[in-house]
Amino acid sequence: MERPASVVKELIENALDAGASTINVDVRDGGQALLQVADDGSGIPAQELETAFLRHATSKLNSAGDLAAIGTLGFRGEALAAIAAVSQVTAVTRTAHDDAGSRLVLEGGKTESRDTVGAPRGTVIAVENLFYNVPARRKFLKSITTERRLIDEFVTRYALAYPDVRFRLVHDGRITFQSSGNGNVRDVLLAVYGAEMAKELLEIGDGEFANSPSPISITGFTGPPSLHRSNRGQITIYVNGRWIKDNSLTYAVIQAYHTLLPTGRYPVAVIFVQLPFNQVDVNVHPAKTEVRFRDSNGAFSAVQRAVRRTLVAGSPVRSVALGAGSGPTTSRYPGWGGTLDEEAFARHEHTQPELSDPQQNLNLSWPENGPQDAGTFAGEIAAQPGNDTAQLDLPRAANRGERLPIMRVVGQVGAAYIIAEGPDGIFLIDQHAAHERILYEQFMTARERNEIASQGLVTSATVQLPPDQATLLEEHLEMLADLGFKVEPFGPNTFVVRAVPALLSKLDPATALHAVVDDLETGKEPLQEREEARVILRVCKSAAVKAGQSLSPAEMEAMIQQLESCHNPHTCPHGRPTLIHLSAAALAKQFGRM
């Protein structure tokens, strides 16, 4: 038992093994004060109640040979004993054959009382004061919010795997998640991911393997290429109803999207792998989250082909608008004709993206106090060594105050780079990286002065998030308000966006919020300053002019003038170069004039 989420996982697995059709999870103070799981399963016979809390006691195995083909989620007989040893447990249970229920109270693994009570069929196990007798373990638990998110993750994952079971999760008296239990996975996807994302997911059929000698069956859902995340966290894999973490199968899903996703982005997928119990070993990890396949290559191939086949057969043309929780979804491959086509990828691999309203996000007006003040921002969010946001540091002393030479705009190439003439040659300027730097320094200057502009929305946007992301967003609402977002809770796992930073006024507010939450979820920095830095980078990246947008000569001139006045004009906030220089001497050499 590592944390409250571990207790929830074991108790839910026991309820599912008992054939429950309804599982209610009640949590208080992130699980440290109370964790209660109630089910309507088969229950524990009265004469076996004490035995159930002994080590190695299990009713799920009849012989050692059963370990070769495990068909239940639990099988070791360790969980209840481990939970009881570090908490105060009250168990109430009744089977269909018992006239009354039995209640057993344990503290630190020792029986305190046993009596007969009235109870419906099923089992209720309440775990109070977790780790009360192990202060070192309790001391190193994460924050209540973090523990809540981990519990949310477990409950929603099992709700997806068992759509015919009605799950209900309550945090501190408030329902945060519930599924209908009607057996429709789509309804659970709706409850977990929200309507916008759920309707985009493509169903993985099992047609290819229906008449195949392979014993592996692959079903589930996968997102179109337009729906992607910044991490692998939304690739969920189950083997025979067990949620697992398997790097090989996760990579198989990612490999199925080869050439379809932007660099550094990962798909959303819910994959169900079904195969004979004797073809997989689940007894290889204490937490039972890892498995070993008898034919690992066959499992990898089956997952990869099933996902790829679904993408090729049914993925729609990418829309220009950003999808829920995804990055930019502008079509990279024009002319798809409604579905993914392998030949179309080859034909259009290097085609420029199609964009509507190219200038909608371009803001090249001078700030009120001039960009020359952008370099005065404080270094409170300077990244530490080893941090992904290392480029947030203030420029080194050698570069402090460094300015670019005066340049004259010549033109634009590839709708992505500005060509400018300088005193000694030409400069190629990456318009997206340059605009990111400009916006970043303007934003930081406004932040230092507490003058971040917020743009109120004429029509507020409603955003529904998965329970774990909703908990994360609630934790950061105050920080987002300081950065120009006005977001308010609007029901279970739902929020309403009433204002966004002025830089994002032209973007879809729901998309902007999804992108921010995505970055918050990716970040591992424990300090508030690091999280703010990540959000600021996202705001500037989202608002900056994109590659593929044509700029007028006046717009290019304005961008260069602002870049010349930046504190550190040579790199974007992520550390990529904003411009490269080709000297007149190098040009002469290329033309054989030297």
Work out the average pLDDT over 343-361: 38
Predicted confidence (pLDDT) at residue 227 exceeds the cutoff of 70: yes
Q: In terms of pLDDT, which residue wins out, 563 or 166?
A: 166
Read off the pTM: 0.66
Residue 35 CA: distances (Å) to CA of 155, 165, 296, 369, 513: 13, 20, 37, 55, 32
The 10 Å Cβ neighbour count of residue 158 is 25
Both structure tokens of 65: 């040979």
CA dihedral over 209, 210, 212, 218, signed as positive or negative: positive
Average pLDDT of every residue of the chain: 79
Work out the average pLDDT over 153-158: 92
CB 219 within 8 A of CB 272: yes
Predicted confidence (pLDDT) at residue 64 exceeds the cutoff of 80: no
Both structure tokens of 446: 């406004």
Buried b (16+ CB within 10 A) or exposed e, 27-66: bbebbbebbbbbbbbbbbbbeebbebbeeeebbbeeeeee
Q: What is the CATH T-level fold of the domain 4-181, as seen in this structure?
A: Heat Shock Protein 90 (3.30.565)
Predicted confidence (pLDDT) at residue 140 exceeds the cutoff of 50: yes
Most confident of 67-71, 83-87, 396-400: 83-87
Using pLDDT thresholds of 50, 70 and 90, give the confidence band for residue 318: very low
Q: In terms of pLDDT, which residue wins out, 351 or 57?
A: 57
CB 81 within 8 A of CB 55: yes
What element of type H or E holds 91?
strand 88-94
CA atoms within 13 A on the CB side of 386: 2
Using pLDDT thresholds of 50, 70 and 90, give the confidence band for residue 436: confident
Please give the biggest Cα pair distance in the chain: 103
Work out the average pLDDT over 437-466: 82
CA distance 4 to 12: 12
Predicted confidence (pLDDT) at residue 27 exceeds the cutoff of 90: yes
Closest CA to 90 of 118, 119, 116, 125: 125
CATH number of 371-581: 3.30.1370.100
Q: Which residue has the tokens 């460094």?
A: 402
Using pLDDT thresholds of 50, 70 and 90, give the confidence band for residue 213: low
Predicted confidence (pLDDT) at residue 524 exceeds the cutoff of 70: no
Least confident of 191-200, 270-279, 350-359, 559-568: 350-359
Using pLDDT thresholds of 50, 70 and 90, give the confidence band for residue 384: very low
Least confident of 52-61, 64-73, 272-281, 558-567: 64-73
In the chain, the amino acid numbered 236 is T
* Domain 194-347 coded CATH 3.30.465.10: no
Closest CA to 87 of 10, 172, 167: 10
* Residue 319 Cα to chain centre, angstroms: 21
Using pLDDT thresholds of 50, 70 and 90, give the confidence band for residue 512: confident
In the chain, domain spans = 4-181, 194-347, 371-581
